[in-house]
Amino acid sequence: MSVLLALLRHASTDWNEAGRLQGQTDTDLSSAGAAAARTWRLPEPADRWKRMTSPLRRARRTAELLQPSRPATVDSRLREMSFGVWEGQTLADLRRRVGKAFLDAERRGLDFLPPGGESPRMVMARLALWAAEVQNDGQPVVAVSHKAAIRAALALATGWDMTDRAPIRLEWRALHYFAVESDGRLRLERANVPLQVAS
Domain boundaries, the chain: 3-197
Whole-angstrom distance, CA of residue 51 vs CA of residue 151: 20
Q: What CATH class does 3-197 carry?
A: alpha beta
Q: What is the dihedral of CA 16, 18, 19, 24, to 10 degrees?
A: -50
Residue 171 annotated in active site: no
* pLDDT tens sequence for the chain (199 residues): 999 999 999 999 999 999 999 999 999 999 999 999 999 999 999 999 999 999 999 999 999 999 888 899 999 999 999 999 999 999 999 999 998 888 898 899 999 999 999 999 999 999 999 999 999 999 999 999 999 999 999 999 999 999 999 999 999 999 999 999 999 899 999 999 999 988 6
Whole-angstrom distance, CA of residue 156 vs CA of residue 75: 19
Q: How far apart are the first and last CA of the chain?
A: 38
pTM equals 0.96
Residue 80 annotated in active site: yes
From the list 10, 64, 87, 176, the catalytic residue is 10
Whole-angstrom distance, CA of residue 80 vs CA of residue 100: 25
Residue 199: what pLDDT? 66
From the list 17, 44, 64, 80, the catalytic residue is 80
Strands 40-41 and 141-145: unpaired
